[in-house]
């Protein structure tokens, strides 16, 4: 394999994608990967940064915005991914070591007793020049890693981030969007950054009216809040039903974007793909968490 790219970030990314593909598709043969040329002796993992908490602010009773500062964050604005893997300390591993780059082009993780635990979060806002990233954490009940970390994070707390990750959202003239609180940071970012002439409808499911946020919606996409009013998160079918009730745009380019609990995502994915016959290039219905399962999608 030979990889070429215009800059170091691009080359590191292509090497990572190629080495990952070899590892996945040639799992049985398990070939040794040896790189020569640029970055061959690099041990710094290009997609990793240690960042430090500089500000913690509650947007609503259950949504906490945490500002993270770090060096050289330009790559988090590249490649179209809106999300990051956050690497957290835990009770069992209070002082984790960070991954480094192996000679094969893949991350080398520390042994289990020093390994951080990963969860996926959205880059709510990014200012490369100032070196800051904002992440909005839903504070949810039960044992957790990400939510628990956010509860006790304070200025000076260090954490690791990797990315960016995720499929880019396709540009379209019309969108139908649906999200619960975990997808809300992504919806808010899209509404703030998509072109002003963009049309469509977005539904956001929240626990109750107290969880509504001010979003500087710069588009023509209509935003509707749906409240669970006492129904536990992940049990209400209101969001999936609302998204299914929207008639798909028949003129111009259209995209369906959905992010919520796994069961709701399945309903919407099946509706878009099987009932409406839409493809991957027109829809993205993602499970952001699963009731009763820890760390979905973080692996």
Q: How far is the CB of 194 from ligand FAD (least distance, A)?
A: 18
* Residue 140 binds to ligand FAD (criterion: CB under 6 A): yes
In this chain, which stretch among 108-116, 169-177, 207-215, 290-298 interacts with ligand FAD, using CB under 6 A?
Answer: 290-298
Residue 242 CA, chain-centre distance (Å), reads: 23
* Residue 269 binds to ligand FAD (criterion: CB under 6 A): no
* Residue 84 binds to ligand FAD (criterion: CB under 6 A): no
* Residue 289 binds to ligand FAD (criterion: CB under 6 A): yes
DSSP state of 5: -
16, 134, 136, 211: which one contacts ligand FAD (CB under 6 A)?
136
In this chain, which stretch among 10-18, 93-101, 133-141, 262-270 interacts with ligand FAD, using CB under 6 A?
Answer: 133-141
Strand locations in 116-157 (E): 117-122, 125-127, 132-138
122, 198, 219, 283: which one contacts ligand FAD (CB under 6 A)?
122
23, 54, 104, 147: which one contacts ligand FAD (CB under 6 A)?
147
Buried b (16+ CB within 10 A) or exposed e, 209-243: eebebebebebebeeeebbbeeeebbebeebbbbb
CB 99 within 8 A of CB 110: yes
Alpha carbon distance 262, 289 (integer Å): 6
68, 233, 242, 285: which one contacts ligand FAD (CB under 6 A)?
233
In this chain, which stretch among 9-17, 70-78, 137-145, 211-219 interacts with ligand FAD, using CB under 6 A?
Answer: 137-145
CA nearest 212: which of 73, 62, 71?
Answer: 62
* Residue 87 binds to ligand FAD (criterion: CB under 6 A): no
Burial (CB count <10 Å: 0-12, 13-18, 19+), residue 170: middle
* Residue 83 binds to ligand FAD (criterion: CB under 6 A): yes
> 189 to 208, contacts with ligand FAD by CB under 6 A?
none
Report which secondary-structure segment, H or E, holds 12.
helix 8-25
Report which secondary-structure segment, H or E, holds 265.
helix 262-270
Which residue's CB is nearer to ligand FAD, number 140 or number 170? 140
> 244 to 263, contacts with ligand FAD by CB under 6 A?
none
Alpha carbon distance 227, 224 (integer Å): 10
Give the residues lining the site for ligand FAD (CB under 6 A): 83, 119-122, 136-138, 140, 142-147, 166, 181-182, 185, 233, 288-297
């Amino acid at each position: 394999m030979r990889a070429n790219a215009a800059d170091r970030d691009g080359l590191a990314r292509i090497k990572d994608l190629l080495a990952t593909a070899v590892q996945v598709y040639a799992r049985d043969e398990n070939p040794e990967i040896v790189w020569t040329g640029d970055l061959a002796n690099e041990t710094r993992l290009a997609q990793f940064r240690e960042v430090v908490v500089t500000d913690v602010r509650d947007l609503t009773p259950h949504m906490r915005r945490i500002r993270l500062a770090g060096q050289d964050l330009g790559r988090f604005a590249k490649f179209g991914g809106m999300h990051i893997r956050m690497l957290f300390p835990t009770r069992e591993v209070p002082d984790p070591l960070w991954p480094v780059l192996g000679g094969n082009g893949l991350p080398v993780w520390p042994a289990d007793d020093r390994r951080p635990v990963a969860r996926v979060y959205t880059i709510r806002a990014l200012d490369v020049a100032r070196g800051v990233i904002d992440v909005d954490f839903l504070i949810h009940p039960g044992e957790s890693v990400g939510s628990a970390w956010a509860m006790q994070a304070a200025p000076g707390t260090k954490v690791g981030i990797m990315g960016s990750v995720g499929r880019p959202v396709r540009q379209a003239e019309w969108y139908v969007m649906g999200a619960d609180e975990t997808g809300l940071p992504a919806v808010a970012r899209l509404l703030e950054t998509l072109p002003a002439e963009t049309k469509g409808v977005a539904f956001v499911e929240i626990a109750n009216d107290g969880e509504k946020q001010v979003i500087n919606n710069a588009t023509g996409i209509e935003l509707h809040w749906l409240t669970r009013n006492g129904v536990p998160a992940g049990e209400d079918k209101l969001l999936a039903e609302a998204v299914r009730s929207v008639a798909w745009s028949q003129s111009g380019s259209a995209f369906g974007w959905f992010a919520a609990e796994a069961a709701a995502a399945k309903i919407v994915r099946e509706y878009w793909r099987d009932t409406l016959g839409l493809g991957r290039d027109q829809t993205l219905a993602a499970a952001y968490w699963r009731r009763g399962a820890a760390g979905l999608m973080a692996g």
